Structure 1
C-alpha cells in the first residue's frame, strides 16, 4: 500500500510537471535580447537567390542565403552588409565580431584601433564554399558587378615579440628598476631648480612640438586586396586610403598615402586597367586626394587633390584634376583662380564629383575659403563668445548645430570644357540645385529664399522664388515668385511641376515656352491632405513620378493616381478604377530608374483604409485604366517589397499584431521564372518566420474599436486584449496615444525595452488591456481635443463591461506626454499616469530651443503640432488654457515624469517645472532623468531600466502589487550607482 502511494505521488508530480511545462508564460524582461526582426533583404538579378539577415535585439545576428524553390539555406553567423557579386555567382558580406568579444573589449576600455574588427565572407553559390578574410575595413565592387572585388583591410596587427624565459625576465626587470631609480633621482634634482614659469613654457613647447609631429604624420592608408572572383586572380596595393571602380568594372582608381616612417615615400594616385593588368601613374607628390570619380564609360577620371602647400600649412587649397588613359599624368582643370570661380572661393574637397551620364559634363563643388583661426593669442586667453544678431538667417543655436556640416558645405558647379572655366550653378542664395536628365539636362531648377529666412523661426517655412537655370551658361530665369510648396522637375528637365500650398493646386512650367499653365484634374477627392488638422496649409499627396521622355506625369489624390499630359491637350485620366477607400501607391523597385517605363510592370502598395489591410500588386500602365494584379493572395500587413532586376520574383515581409514578421517570396510564370523546377510560382512561399518562441508566451489580439467622441465624430482606435480574453472579467487598462494610429492595427510589435512608447505586447501578455485611440484636433484647443477623444473612448470601453474603471492608466511620450499632463488636470478618471518628455508651460516652451536642431519652438505653436495657431501676444488665453502648469492644483492622479537632461526636442526644464510645481502642491510625483540621454532613450541599458520601472509603477497602482523602494523611498544622490531601488519595499 505504501509503495502504491509513492507511485501515485510520483505520477501526480510528473503530471503536474508535464502540465506546467505545457503552460504558456507571461512575457518578462528576460525575453528581449533574442527577439528577432528582419534586417537586410536582397534578391539576385536573376531571381534565383535571396539573402536576408535575422537580427536580434542584443547579441549575434545571422545572414541567410536561400535558393528560391529549395528548402533550407546557408547561414553566415553575424553576417551583414551583403551584396551579390561576380555576376550573381557569389554573395559577399561583412562579418561582425562576436557580441561577447565586443562587450569584453568595451569592459576593458580598449581604444578604437584595438577593438575587434570585422571580417569578410565570400560564398560561392556554385560550389557552396565559404572563404573568410580577416580584419576588413570595407569592400567595393563595380556597380554592374562584373568579376572584380576590392577589399580594403584594417591596419595590420603589430607583431608580438617572443617572450623571454622567466630568469631572463627577472634580470630585465631588475635592470629596469635600477634605471628608473636613477631617472627619478635626476628628475628630482632638475625640478628643484626649475621655476614654475620656465616649466610651463617648456611644457607648452613640448605640447606644440608633439602637435606639430601629429599634424605632419597624416593617417596612413592600408592594404587593398583586389580579387577577381571568376578567375581567382589577386593583386595587392599598399597604403591605400581611397579607391573606386568604374561602373562596368574595367578600371580601378586608387589613392595611396605616403609612409610616415619613410621620408622618401610619396603619395600617389593610380589607374589600374583591370582587363590588361597594367597601371598608369596618374599623379605623384601630393599630400591628399578626395572624390575619385569615373565617367560611366570608364574612360575619364576626375578627383580633387592638394599638392602645393606644406602639410604644416594652416590652409590646404585643393584643386580639380583630370586624367584619361594616354596622358602623361593628371592635368589641372580648376583652382581658386579659374574663371567662373567666385572671388574668395576655391575647389571643395568635400564635394562629390560626378560626370553626366554622357560623360560630357563634370560637376564639382566650390566653397568660400575661410580665413584661418586667430592664433595670435594662446587658446586659454581667447574669448569664448557666440554673438547673436537679429539679422542672421538662422539662430546661433542652429548655426552651431550645423557647424560641422557648414564647414564642409559646397556649392554645385559644372566645368566648361569649351573655355576651360567653371559655371557656378549654386551659391549662398541658391543653395540647392535640382539637376535633371541624369545631369545631361538643358535646364536645371533652383529656389531662393534670400531675405526671407528669418521668418522660418515662427512660420516653420519660407517663401521662395523659383528659377530655371540654363545648364550651358548658368543663366537664371524666374519661374514663380513668393512660392510655397513642392517642386517636381520632369525626367528630362523640360517641365517643372509645382504644387502651390496656398492655392492647393498644381501648375506646369514649360522651359521651352517659358510659360506656366494650371493642371486641372477631374478628381473625386482633393489633391491635398484632407485630414490635415494643424494651423498650416495642407501638404499635397504628391506625385508618383514622371514617365520616361516626359510623356506623362502621375499625380496622386487621396486614393488614386492620375496620368497628366504635360502639354495639356487631353484631360487627366485616372490610372485605376477606384474601389472603395483603397489607397494605391507606387513602389520604386529599381534605384537606377530615371523615369517610369510604362511598357513594363510597375509595383504598387495597396492599402484599404476601411479594413486596414495592405498588400502588393503590379500593373502595366500602357493602357488606362490599368488592371492591378496581386503579387500575393495574402493581404494583412505587407511591407518592404524587393524585386529581382531581371526576373518577376518578389520578396516582402508579412505580419500582423499576433503574427511575427515572415519573409515571403513569389513570382509569376509569365515573368521568366519557369526555369526553377518544383516551385509553385503562383503562390507565395515562406522563407522564414521570425520568433517561433512566441508560441511559448501569452500574447494577445488587436482589433479596431469604434465609438462616438464628445465632438460627435465616429472615431477609431486600436484595442489590444490579452490572450484568452474573457468579456465577463474585469481587466486593468492602459491608454496609450499620440495622434492617430488606426493604420497600425496589423503592425507587429516586438516585446522590446522601448525608447519611450508603451511596450504594448509586454503589458497585454501580463493581463492588461491596452487602448490606443485616434485624436482629431481643433486649432487653438489641442488639450480639449485630446480630452474629447481619449476620455470619450475610455468611457465607451468602460460601458463594454470588461474594464475595471478603478484601474485605468495613461502613458504618453512627447506630444503624448503633454496630453497625459493635460488630461490629469481635467479628470480624475485615471488611477496612474506616466508622461515622457512633456511640455507643461507653453509660454516658456514657446521661446525654447529644440537642441537636436537648434530651432526655436515658436513655429511649433503657431503652425504645426502644438496647434495654437497664434502667438503668445495675440492669444495668451489659449496658452494658459492649454498649459497644464496653470491647472495642476486640480490633479489627483499619481504621476511619473521622464525628462532627460540631453533631450533635443523638448527642453528638460519643462519636466523640472512640472515636477517642482507638483511637489509644491504636494501631489504624488516622481521624475526620472536619464543622464546624457535624448528625447527618446538611446542606450539599451536605460531602456531596460525604464521598462522595469514602468511595469512596477503600473503593477502597483493598477494590479495591487507592492511598490518598489524607488517609489516609496527614492534614491538619494549619495546612493546613486550603489542601489537601483527596484526591489519591493516590503
Structure 2
C-alpha cells in the first residue's frame, strides 16, 4: 500500500467484545419522527433556574423549568412549536408562548384557519400560572421587573390591507398586585433598561390620536411626546435607558412613498422632556432625491449630541398637467389622432449584460430589493443642526466606532469588478471624523480576502487593529501612528490549515481589552496579549504548540461587555488538534496565564454565566452521549452537577459503540487523520459495511453527537450507525489546481487505513457527500473502484462549464468561488484547461464502474441543475447504473419535510441493497414511469402513514 502509514490512536471509548442475549433494535426512520430531544436553553439572571423545551421531531412539545442546583422541576405542554422562554430580571417569573397542538396545526393548514399563541406566565415560587390568549408579543419591564407588557393580535375581521391601522391592545400586568391596565391601538412598545419608563406608539383607525407616548411605570403618568396624523415605528432606547429615537412617517403628495422623520427623545421629564425632529427635506445640506431610510433603526450617540440613521432614495411623483388646461399652440394645430398610452405600447422584455458591469445583471436582479432599501449611514448633530452623509454610493459600508468620535468607511469601487471575477477582494479604508465630517483615506487597496481589510475597533473608539501580509498592526485614529503588533513574536499568524487560494490567510483576532490597552490575537495555537504600541507581548497560553493544543475562542459570558475585561475571570474554549480533546480554560482576573480546567474526549458548548449570580452552565456531549447541561457555582467549574438529560429514547435502540481516530499519510505525503465511527453492537475482529462521508476537514468534530433527524442532504450518521454501518470521515488537504485529485490522494488512503483496522469490510464500502462533498464523490468514482456504491448530492461535475455559470442564490458568477474559495482552480480554464479537465468528473466518465445515486433539484441556486443533468445523461449514455432524484422546486438542500423524509428513506434503501444485499428497491431496479409516479408516491406515503 503505497504512501500508507497506519497509526492507531487510543479509542475515545473502550470497546469490549460482548455477546448480547437480546440486542436492541436499530433506529428506523419511523422512530426518527418520534425521536425526543431538547431544544434551546434559558438561565435565569440569578442562575437558580433553567428552562428548555423538549419533545419529538414531529409532534407536541413540553417546557421544563427546574432548579439549576436542586431537583424541583415543573413541566408544561407548549404545543408543536418551541419559541423560547424569558425570565424576569429578579428571577421570580418566567413567561413563554404556548402554540397549537400538532394535530390542530395540521388541520388548520388544510383549511387556512388562523391559529394564535397563548402566553403562560409562571410565578416560580409557587408555580402559579396565568394564561393570556391570542398573544402577539410580550416583554418584562427591564431591570426592575414589576410589570409584564403583553400585546395581543388584532381581532378577527380587522382590516389587513397595507393602509389599515396596525395598533392592537397592550396589557400592562403588575406581577405583584395582579392589577392590569389596557393601552389601546399600540403599534410598538419598548421598556427602557431600568424598566421604569415605557415608550409606545399608537396607530389607530383614521390615524386618530396617533403619536408616541411615554408612561412612567412608577406613577402611571403618561405623556404624549408627539401627536400627528402619522405613523410611528422603530423605537430604539439608548443603552443607559434615558433617551430614545424613533421614526415618524407622513404622507406627502410630492412623493410616491411616505416621508420619514427622525424623532430624538432625551432629558426625560414628563411634559418637559426634550424632543428634536429632523426629516432632511428642508435642509439644504441634505442630498436631493433622498429621504430617511426605514430599514435602519435610528439611535443616539452616547453623549446624546448626535442622531445616527440611514437615508436612501425618495422618489417624487410624476408631474401632471392640471385638467382643463391646454397648450395654446396645440389649439392652432389640426386635430391629430390621440397618442397611444404608454401602458398600451408593447415593451421588449429583456436584459442587457455589459462586460463592464461591476455586478452581473443576475446579481443586480437578485439583490435589487437590497439595493433599493440600502441604508446610507448618516448623522445629525442637534446643537448646530448639522447633517452629514457618512456613506455614499461608493463608500457604502460605514461602521461608527465606539464613543462616536470616528467612523470607518470601506470603498471597494475600484476593485469590485475584478473581485467578482477572481474572488480576490480589496478595499480602500477611510477615517471619518464625526464632529467635522472630514474623510481621510487610511489605507489604499487593502487586501480583504485573507481575513484582513476590516479594522477591529477598541472600546475607546480611538485605536484599531488590522491584518496585512501575515502580521497584525495597530493604528491610532487620533494621530495616525501605526505599530506592528506581532512582528516581534516568534510565531506564525498565517492560518496554517487554510488551503484556499488566499494570500496569507489570518489567524483569529479576538479584539481588545476593555481598557483598550491590549490586543488579544492568536497564532495557530497560542493567545497573545499585546500592548497597543506592540512593545509589550505576553503569551497567555504557554507554548501550547508543543502539545498541539490551541485557544479556539473566547467564551463571552458578561452582559453588555465592551471588550475583554481582564479584571474579571475570562473563559476560553480549548482544543487539541492531534487527539481532538476539547475543554474550557480560565484566565483568572489580573493574571497572565490561561489554566485549562478540563480537556477530554467530549465536546463542550453553551457556556453561560448567570447575569447576577455565580452560576456557570455548559453542555457536554460526545459521539455516544447527547448534549446535557451541567452547572457549577465555582469559577473553576469544580463539582459540576448534571442539570438535565437528553434523548430519553436512545437507550431503547442499538447505538454506536464509539469512535476511533486513525492517522495515515496521503498520496501527497501529508500526515492526516480520519474519524471512524463504530456501528452499534460492534464486535472486535468483525468487519462492517461502511459509509465514507466526505466534505473537507471533518475530524475536529470527532466527539460531536449526531442527533437523529431528517437532514437536507439525506444522510444521518446516527441512523446508519444504529443500523450496523461504520462511518468514516477523513480529512482532506488540498493542493491548488487539484481539488478532485486532492480528494483522491486523501480519501483513498484513509479508506485503506480504515480497512487495515479490521473494522471496515473492504468489499462493502460506499461513499457519500453533498454539494462540495457531492463533487468529490462524483470525481472519486472516476478514479478508483474501492467503493461499491456512491451517493452524490448536488454535485459539480464539469468544472469548465460550472466555472462561468451563475450562483443563482446570490446572482454572482462561480468564477470567484473557483479562484479564491472552494473550487481551488485558477485562473480561468482557457489558461488552465488541463487542470479543469483533469478535475472534472465528466471528462473521466468512461472509467466509472461504481453505481451512483444522484440528487439534484431543479431549483438549485448553488450548483446549477445542468451539472447533475450532464453527469446523469453521460452515465446513462454509457449504460452505467445511475438514478437521479429531483425534488421539484427545491434548492441546493431539501427544505420540505416530506421531501427530506423521502430522500432519507431512499438513500438507506439504496445502501442496504448495495452493501447489505437486501432486495433492490423498485425505483432503483426498474425505475418509475412518469404516469405511475403519483401512484408510487401515494403508496409510499400510505406505507409511512401505516408505520406511524
The answer to whether the 8 Å contact 2:199/2:214 transfers is: yes
The one-character-per-residue Cα deviations of 1:75-128 (angstroms, maximum 9, x if unpaired) are: 2222532111152211112222212211111122x0xxx421111111112232
Name the CA distance, whole Å, in 1 between partners of 2:71 and 2:239.
40
Q: Partner of 1:733: helix, strand, or coil? A: strand
The answer to whether the 8 Å contact 1:336/1:347 transfers is: no
Deviates more, 1:395-404 or 1:738-747: 395-404
Corresponding residue to 2:644 among 688, 698, 701 = 688
Name the CA distance, whole Å, in 1 between partners of 2:754 and 2:601.
29
State the shift of 1:973 in Å: 2.1
Seen in structure 2, the aligned counterparts of structure 1 residues 523 and 420 have a Cα distance that, compared at 3 Å, is same
Corresponding residue to 2:587 among 583, 606, 619 = 619
The answer to whether the 8 Å contact 2:662/2:754 transfers is: no
* Structure whose CA Rg is larger: 1
Name the CA distance, whole Å, in 1 between partners of 2:788 and 2:446.
50
The answer to whether the 8 Å contact 1:411/1:425 transfers is: yes
Indicate the residue corresponding to 1:176 in structure 2: none
The answer to whether the 8 Å contact 1:444/1:468 transfers is: yes
The answer to whether the 8 Å contact 2:264/2:307 transfers is: no
Indicate the residue corresponding to 1:205 in structure 2: none
Indicate the residue corresponding to 1:119 in structure 2: 118
Seen in structure 2, the aligned counterparts of structure 1 residues 803 and 586 have a Cα distance that, compared at 3 Å, is closer
- The answer on 1:750 being equivalent to 2:707 is yes
Indicate the residue corresponding to 1:239 in structure 2: 185
Deviates more, 1:914-923 or 1:63-72: 63-72
The one-character-per-residue Cα deviations of 1:161-196 (angstroms, maximum 9, x if unpaired) are: xxxxxxxxxxxxxxxxxxxxxxxxxxxxxxxxxxxx
Indicate the residue corresponding to 1:61 in structure 2: 61
State the shift of 1:328 in Å: 9.2
Corresponding residue to 1:307 among 237, 250, 260 = 250
- The answer on 1:721 being equivalent to 2:689 is no
Corresponding residue to 1:540 among 498, 506, 521 = 506
Report how many residues are paired.
Answer: 888
Indicate the residue corresponding to 2:3 in structure 1: none
Name the CA distance, whole Å, in 1 between partners of 2:473 and 2:624.
46
Name the CA distance, whole Å, in 2 between partners of 1:771 and 1:866.
23
Indicate the residue corresponding to 1:271 in structure 2: 214
Name the CA distance, whole Å, in 1 between partners of 2:568 and 2:381.
38
Indicate the residue corresponding to 1:84 in structure 2: 87
Corresponding residue to 2:408 among 445, 451, 461 = 445
- The answer on 1:654 being equivalent to 2:594 is no
Indicate the residue corresponding to 1:134 in structure 2: 133
Indicate the residue corresponding to 1:482 in structure 2: 445
Name the CA distance, whole Å, in 2 between partners of 1:61 and 1:819.
40
Name the CA distance, whole Å, in 1 between partners of 2:278 and 2:725.
69
Name the CA distance, whole Å, in 2 between partners of 1:291 and 1:748.
41
Q: Partner of 2:198: helix, strand, or coil? A: strand
Name the CA distance, whole Å, in 2 between partners of 1:22 and 1:297.
64
State the shift of 1:616 in Å: 1.9
The answer to whether the 8 Å contact 2:69/2:643 transfers is: no
The one-character-per-residue Cα deviations of 1:443-490 (angstroms, maximum 9, x if unpaired) are: 221211122211122232421111111121221122111101232111
Deviates more, 1:887-896 or 1:538-547: 538-547
Q: CA RMSD of the aligned region, Å?
A: 2.6
Q: Partner of 2:259: helix, strand, or coil? A: coil
- The answer on 1:411 being equivalent to 2:357 is no
Corresponding residue to 2:837 among 880, 886, 889 = 880
State the shift of 1:924 in Å: 1.1
Deviates more, 1:137-146 or 1:558-567: 137-146
Indicate the residue corresponding to 2:6 in structure 1: none
Corresponding residue to 1:105 among 105, 108, 112 = 108
Indicate the residue corresponding to 1:321 in structure 2: 263
Q: Partner of 2:29: helix, strand, or coil? A: coil
- The answer on 1:390 being equivalent to 2:355 is yes
Name the CA distance, whole Å, in 2 between partners of 1:380 and 1:928.
44
State the shift of 1:956 in Å: 1.1
Seen in structure 2, the aligned counterparts of structure 1 residues 119 and 378 have a Cα distance that, compared at 3 Å, is farther
Indicate the residue corresponding to 1:71 in structure 2: 71
Name the CA distance, whole Å, in 1 between partners of 2:303 and 2:795.
54
Name the CA distance, whole Å, in 2 between partners of 1:417 and 1:264.
29
Name the CA distance, whole Å, in 1 between partners of 2:348 and 2:559.
50
Name the CA distance, whole Å, in 1 between partners of 2:376 and 2:755.
60
State the shift of 1:407 in Å: 2.4
Corresponding residue to 1:666 among 618, 627, 632 = 632
Indicate the residue corresponding to 2:173 in structure 1: 227
State the shift of 1:900 in Å: 0.5
State the shift of 1:441 in Å: 3.3
Seen in structure 2, the aligned counterparts of structure 1 residues 61 and 356 have a Cα distance that, compared at 3 Å, is farther
The residue correspondences of 1:419-818 to structure 2 (distance < 5 A) are: 419-437=384-402, 440-484=403-447, 485=452, 486-500=454-468, 503-568=469-534, 570-579=535-544, 580-584=547-551, 585-624=553-592, 626-628=593-595, 630=597, 636-668=602-634, 682-700=638-656, 701-756=658-713, 758-818=715-775
Corresponding residue to 2:281 among 336, 342, 359 = 336
Name the CA distance, whole Å, in 2 between partners of 1:468 and 1:645.
36
The answer to whether the 8 Å contact 2:791/2:853 transfers is: yes
The one-character-per-residue Cα deviations of 1:712-751 (angstroms, maximum 9, x if unpaired) are: 2222101012133234333222211111111111010022
State the shift of 1:617 in Å: 2.8
Name the CA distance, whole Å, in 1 between partners of 2:569 and 2:730.
39
Structure ranking higher on relative contact order (CA contacts 8 Å, 6+ apart): 2
- For structure 2, list consecutive stretches of 5 or more residues without a partner in the other structure: 1-18, 321-340, 944-948
Name the CA distance, whole Å, in 1 between partners of 2:349 and 2:437.
41
The one-character-per-residue Cα deviations of 1:123-168 (angstroms, maximum 9, x if unpaired) are: 1122321111111111134443532322111122469xxxxxxxxx
Name the CA distance, whole Å, in 2 between partners of 1:142 and 1:280.
18
The answer to whether the 8 Å contact 1:843/1:872 transfers is: yes
Name the CA distance, whole Å, in 1 between partners of 2:22 and 2:923.
36
The one-character-per-residue Cα deviations of 1:858-896 (angstroms, maximum 9, x if unpaired) are: 012212111112211211111111111111111111111
Q: TM-score, normalised by structure 1?
A: 0.86
Name the CA distance, whole Å, in 2 between partners of 1:719 and 1:855.
38
Name the CA distance, whole Å, in 1 between partners of 2:390 and 2:344.
39
Corresponding residue to 1:293 among 206, 220, 236 = 236
- The answer on 1:979 being equivalent to 2:942 is no
Name the CA distance, whole Å, in 2 between partners of 1:747 and 1:374.
64
Seen in structure 2, the aligned counterparts of structure 1 residues 854 and 225 have a Cα distance that, compared at 3 Å, is same
Seen in structure 2, the aligned counterparts of structure 1 residues 578 and 76 have a Cα distance that, compared at 3 Å, is farther
Seen in structure 2, the aligned counterparts of structure 1 residues 147 and 397 have a Cα distance that, compared at 3 Å, is farther
Name the CA distance, whole Å, in 2 between partners of 1:694 and 1:301.
51
The one-character-per-residue Cα deviations of 1:378-432 (angstroms, maximum 9, x if unpaired) are: 4995554334333333222222222222222212112111221212222222222
